[in-house]
Amino acid sequence: MGTSGSRQRGSAADAGTGESTSSSSRRRPGSSSRSSSTRRGENSATGSGGSRSSRQQEGAEPAQHAPTTRAAPKKLPLPLLHQTVTLKNNINLNRNSIHLCKAEDGHETRFQLEFTFDCEAACTLTIWYVAEEEVDDSDATIRFQSNYPHQPTKMEFQPGLGHKYKVPLAEAFDTTLVATRRNLYYHQGSRLYPLVLVLQTTGSAEPQMQLTYATFKGHEGDALTVSAVRQKLQCQGAVYDMKEVYGAEQSSLDTAECVICMSNPKSIAVLPCRHLCMCSDCAKDLHRSMDGCPMCRCKVESLLQMNL
């Protein structure tokens, strides 16, 4: 009876360890211990892996993170709408018509200027080379000083449109008379201008003066050209910077409709790109939506009301 009981306990143990323990009774003790220990290691590893898997499946809910608060986007300032003041300009030099050509005597360093201008009143023309601007803020008076050997002379013109002027050969500009080649070019912020063309009305009730500032272009050895830098208008005791407005030309006024609604007349220019392209109603929508210029997608900094 005692032997039988031991066998039952052995069977119970065998059932717990599986086939590896029952087969070890037919092997040498050394191999049996190694085999059983190896299998037990595998079972324990599998068991522990299974427990991790079950914990992941059953798993606890993930930790709740504190909600992140996003900063509200900064509101960009709305573009301002500026009203323009209409000034009648009795004199105007076409800045795109200024041209520099080689002197007729064939000298490589001498050049003659050509340009076109309009005047509705009698006026004078003065050409300054390599001149420094002096402004008297008390009365908005503009004067020039130049070290160029040939001082300018005033030429008189009668009222007329499309005046074409070419500097006489005797007054041709000579680059060898300039102190340094650096003075042939305008530098941002400087008051020294390589070329200034001054138109001034004479004998009119409201005197006006238009100034066209230009710079020469071209590296040493290359052909020298000229290009306008800025224009000013002095009238009514003040000085105004003149800016071209794209779309305000006479040819553009033939198709004067707003580019957005295609029905109302365009009267709003976008700054700083200066495209005249919208009516006032569409400009209000653009003002609210903060979209770019309809013509070039440039950022809208301000709007300009034009009275055409």
Q: Are 110 and 129 in contact (CB under 8 A)?
A: no
SS3 152: coil
The answer on pLDDT for 139 being more than 50 is: yes
Contact yes or no for 143/134 (Cβ under 8 A): yes
The pLDDT, as a whole number, for residue 308 is 63
* Cα 131 → chain centroid: 32
Structure tokens at 259: 């580019």
pLDDT tens-digit map of 170-185 = 999 999 999 899 999 9
Q: Are 170 and 105 in contact (CB under 8 A)?
A: no
Tell me the pLDDT tens digit for each residue of 144-158: 999 999 888 899 999
Tokens 């009222």, located at residue:
159
Q: What pLDDT sits at residue 78?
A: 56
Tell me the pLDDT band of 206, cut-offs 50, 70 and 90: confident
pLDDT of residue 49: 43
Tokens of 253: 């006024």
Question: Residue 124: what pLDDT?
Answer: 96
Q: Is the pLDDT of residue 42 over 80?
A: no
Mean pLDDT of the chain: 76
Identify each DSSP E strand in the chain by its residue range: 80-83, 91-93, 99-102, 110-119, 123-136, 141-146, 155-157, 160-166, 173-174, 192-201, 209-217, 225-235, 238-242, 268-271, 275-278, 302-305
